[in-house]
Amino acid sequence: MSRTLEVWGERNFTIDVPDTAKVTFGPWSPPNAKGGHYGTERGGTLRIYAGKTVASNVIAVFSGVSGFRDTSLTYEELGSPPPLTPAIGISFPWSEMSKEEKEDLAEYVARNIVNKAADTAMAPTEDDDGLPPF
């Protein structure tokens, strides 16, 4: 009997691992007594051992690995968050603006952002019953 691992990083692949094997993940060189190690610039290293995790039992080593999972685990990509609307996150030096500039900006926001958003939300639909489309 075996289990299948999905591995991704510099290469993406699957591998069948015997149930009796031990799997480890870490830097190429494990930390020493001083806390130093090397090999993390390429990502992690996935090692597979036949039994105990001793050097003589190593049956596979994969460097440049950023992650892995047992395929028996349910996994679903959520994707990227939607991009920000240009009006969101814009800041204006309000305290440095003249009264006229503030009024112009307020009028622009009301005309081009608030009213358009309200018009869009209240746009009639095919089966318009007078209620906003939800």
pLDDT digits (tens, 9 = 90+) for 88-117: 455 656 677 788 887 887 777 777 665 555
pLDDT of residue 116: 57
Dihedral sign (CA 59, 62, 67, 68): negative
Question: What is the rounded distance in angstroms from the CA atom of residue 25 to the CA atom of residue 33?
Answer: 19
Dihedral of CA atoms 56, 60, 61, 66 in degrees, nearest 10, equals -140
pLDDT reading at 52 higher than 70: yes
pLDDT of residue 107: 79
pLDDT of residue 71: 92
Q: What is the pTM of this model?
A: 0.52
What are the structural domain ranges in the chain? 2-70, 84-122
Question: Which position has the higher pLDDT, 96 or 129?
Answer: 96
Average pLDDT over residues 59-64: 92
- 24: Cα within 13 Å, side-chain hemisphere: 17
What's the mean pLDDT when you consider all of the chain? 75
DSSP classification of residue 122: T
Question: What is the rounded distance in angstroms from the CA atom of residue 23 to the CA atom of residue 53?
Answer: 8
Nearest to 62 by CA among 83, 48, 77: 48
